[in-house]
Chain A
Amino acid sequence: MSKSVRVWSAVAATLLGILIGSSSNAQRVNPPSEGGSFPDIMIPAPSSAEAQKYLGLKAKEKFKVSEIKAELVIFEVFSMYCPHCQREAPSVNELYRLIDGRPDLKGKIKVVGLGAGNNSFEVELFSKKYDIPFPLIPDVDLALHRALGEVRTPYFIAVKLGRGGQSKVIYSKVGSPGDPSQFLDLLLQRSKAL
């Protein structure tokens, strides 16, 4: 290759790269909005059979939110390393237990954690440390985090699922949702209003 060809190919590569990079930027999405639908993303299935059973998934590698066997799904976007998420963990467990303790809600409302930037080892550590009774899904390459608008953590999204596979976001906010019992009441109210 002559020197000029090499220089031009480097320039072309640089421009192409910036174009590819910027187009990803242009695709940067907003967090799911309340009243809107949940993005049509493929979520990696949890590895444990127990977690798969809880979500009603059978031998799936990836799933859409509409495939979860539930009427309402509460997602927490968290990170093992995030101090607020660590502090929030007992409250989210309490939320799970409140649901689990009510025969009218058990099996209809599911809780799922998405570990932004965490690998499976890290979500497992978080799960053990805080004795978390619901599935935590690693998102080490931040694919889910990007699809959910690169939110700060913890971030809570509640999605009401319709019979026809449609979804409606009824809660989408950063930070602690406060008292678990009041949060559950709020979600039930909003869920009924739809």
Chain B
Amino acid sequence: MSKTTFPAALVVAILVGLGVAWGQVESEQFKGKIFHAEPLKPIDSRVSVKVGDTAPDFTLPSITGERVSLSQYRGKKNVVLSFVPAAFTPVCSQQWPGYRMIQDMFDALDATVIGITTDNLPSLFAWTQEMGGIPFPVLSDFWPHGKVSSEYGILRGDGTSERALFVVDKSGVIRYIDVHDINERPPLDRLLQQLEALNKHKTKK
């Protein structure tokens, strides 16, 4: 044990003691419909891609029936891959409605969000319906279980994925990675800044 033992243990214990004051704001829409988990280990995997790599391509089934490949956006749109851990959980149930609200900003930045979880399609369908519909592709990485999450190195020990964002530019290259603390929502401003930077870069060329 190091000299930092005392303060570190203090901070951890305060957080444990705080318990319910964990800091989630629940929408009335999800009253009684959301599974409440205790705070989870922030990150439980090791990301296996890095900025500058070509994003591993994949084809996954979407809730609207068609199969969607990352490569179909090549040369057309910037892509925000938004992996979230699980349907019907508190943080996830707000993250995508937030992206829905600023759909026009993503459009203006020549980007599309692709939402991915390791849930099966019927659960994803029911959940997104509960949220009032999601305007971007929502894909299921259920079978082979978590294959795509695994390729990106963000499959957690319990079979869910991390709460992770990957910005992939039009040439298919990863330009930004945020494997976020699973208990928190990633800041929207930082994501938008990344997309703005991509667009500025393109205009300069």
- Chain A residues with CB under 8 Å of chain B are 1, 6-7, 9-10, 12-22, 24-25, 28, 79-87, 116-117, 119, 121-122, 125-126, 129, 142, 145-146, 150, 152-155, 174-175
Contact = CB atoms under 8 A, between A and B. Distances in A.
Given A10-B1, A83-B132, A125-B101, A18 B17 contact: yes
Nearest to B31: A152
Interface stretch (B2-10, B141-149, B197-205): B2-10
Interface string B10-22: 1111111111110
17 contacts: A10-B5, A17-B11, A17-B15, A20-B14, A20-B17, A25-B18, A25-B21, A79-B94, A81-B97, A83-B29, A83-B132, A84-B28, A117-B185, A125-B102, A142-B23, A145-B25, A153-B28
Nearest to B105: A125
A119 B189 CA distance: 10
The 8 tightest CB contacts between A and B, nearest first, are: A21-B17, A17-B13, A81-B94, A82-B27, A13-B9, A81-B98, A84-B29, A18-B17
A87 B102 CA distance: 14
Contacts of B9: 10, 13-14, 17
Given A119-B187, A146-B21, A129 B101 contact: yes
Interface string B180-203: 000001011100000000000000
Nearest to B96: A81
